Amino acid sequence: MSLKNMRKSPENETKRARFKRLASLRTNEVLKRLKILGNCANRGVYEYKEDEIKKIFSTIENKVRETKARFHFPGHKKFKL
């Protein structure tokens, strides 16, 4: 099965199957991008300061926390009297 076919949602796909399919694809994409970011650590090719590295990983860590929280607190309930 090609990647293009894996991204198509079968008409009778369950919510659970759709989650597993998409979560796997998206997680692997994040991991691939992190590996590529790690290539920037090569001081023979790149020059960077410690504060820049802290800023990069602080931003990534904040987004990971926000995303994780969405799984534990999935919706914002509207205020109602």
Each residue's pLDDT expressed in tens, for the chain with a length of 81 residues: 455 555 667 789 999 999 999 999 999 999 999 999 999 999 999 999 999 999 999 999 999 999 999 998 877 677 778
* Domain ranges, residue 56: 14-68
pLDDT of res. 5: 55
pTM: 0.74
Residue with tokens 């990534």, as numbered in its chain: 60
Considering the domain boundaries, does residue 43 fall inside one?
A: yes
Considering the domain boundaries, does residue 61 fall inside one?
A: yes
Q: What's the distance, CA 79 to chain centroid?
A: 30
Considering the domain boundaries, does residue 78 fall inside one?
A: no
Residue with tokens 């369950």, as numbered in its chain: 14
Considering the domain boundaries, does residue 79 fall inside one?
A: no
Q: What's the total number of domains in the chain?
A: 1
